[in-house]
Structure 1
Amino acid sequence: MERLEYSAHLKWDGNVGSMAKVREFEFSIDTNTDGHNAGPNPTEYLLAAIGGCLTVNWGRLIRKMRLDVRGFELEVRGWRGLDEPQLKEITYKITVFTNEAEKKIMRVKELAEKYGTVFNTVGAEKIRGEVKIVKPSP
């Protein structure tokens, strides 16, 4: 079976954070509550990973479908109760700047969610997405 493999190496900072290395990229993971605020916390990275997954797939699909999209912006949000260590809701809103038909843009949303590795690992049933189409002036 062919497969894609991923890995990350993390080194503890002696408090609650770490320095992560993925391929040739390094970044801090920390908290702003009891850490040194040296980087986003793991939950924020999870939300960014969901957004990054969607962004990669939207970009690929826009190119593949040869759509005229001038740009898009994505915001991912999540919340949890103070007493439960699990996000209760994850939502995203994508704003797409295009004159393409809504049907085509909604097809991109459908396919981006269907083929998103991080999106599906977290669970499509846990994430709700909304699309806003903005028609740019000529």
Structure 2
Amino acid sequence: MERLEYKAELEWDGNVGSEVKVRDFSFRIDTSTDGRNAGPNPTEYLLAAIGGCLVVNWGRLIKKMRLNVEDMQITVSGWRDREEPRLKEITYKVRIVTDEPEKKILRIKELAEKYGTVFNTVGPEKIRGEVEIVKKSQQ
């Protein structure tokens, strides 16, 4: 089986943040609470990674199934108690503008969740998603 490898290199900023390098890209991780607020915090990046994973898979499936989709947004949210350092709930909502049948759109949701690397690493039992289909004719 082919092995896919990923790597991120982080350089500490001397406080609580870092500069991250991934391939030819760089970005900051920091916090607004005790850092310099120079970038999103790790939890926000986790939510963005889940959303990015979903967008990549939805996009691939839309192309593969040759569906006519005018627009799509995905919002990923999570919350935790201050006392316990883990997210209690992660939810996402896909808003998609299309006249394609609901059955096809829900099949994309199913497959995007099934084959998403980040989605499955976090655990599908920890993430709950919903889809809002907006018909182009109703806009």
Q: Which TM-score bucket, shorter chain as reference?
A: over 0.9
1:126 aligns with 2:129: no
* Residue in 2 that maps onto 1:82: 82
Give the length in aligned residue pairs. Answer: 138
The equivalent residue for 2:4 is 4
1:99 paired with 2:99, answer yes
**1:43-73 per-position Cα deviation (integer Å, ceiling 9, x unaligned):** 0000000000000000000000001111100
RMSD, aligned α-carbons? 0.9
Partner residue, 2:23: 23
Give TM-score scaled by structure 1 length: 0.98
Matches of 2:117 and 2:71, distance apart in 1: 23
Return 5+ residue gaps in structure 1 as ranges. Answer: none
**CA separation in 2, counterparts of 1:126 and 1:98?**
28
Point out where structure 2 has 5 or more consecutive residues left out of the alignment. none
Give the fraction of aligned pairs with identical amino acids, expressed as a percent: 74
Structure 1 residue ranges (4+ consecutive) displaced by more than 6 angstroms after TM superposition: none
1:39-58, aligned counterparts within 5 Å? 39-58=39-58
Report the residue type matching 1:79 in the other structure: W
The Cα shift of 1:136 comes to 1.2
2: distance between equivalents of 1:115 and 1:71?
A: 22
The residue that corresponds to 2:36 in the other structure is: 36
Distance 2:63 2:71 in 1: 12
Structure 2 counterpart of 1:127, which letter? Answer: I
Matched residue SS, 1:130 = strand
**1:52 is matched by which residue type in structure 2?**
G
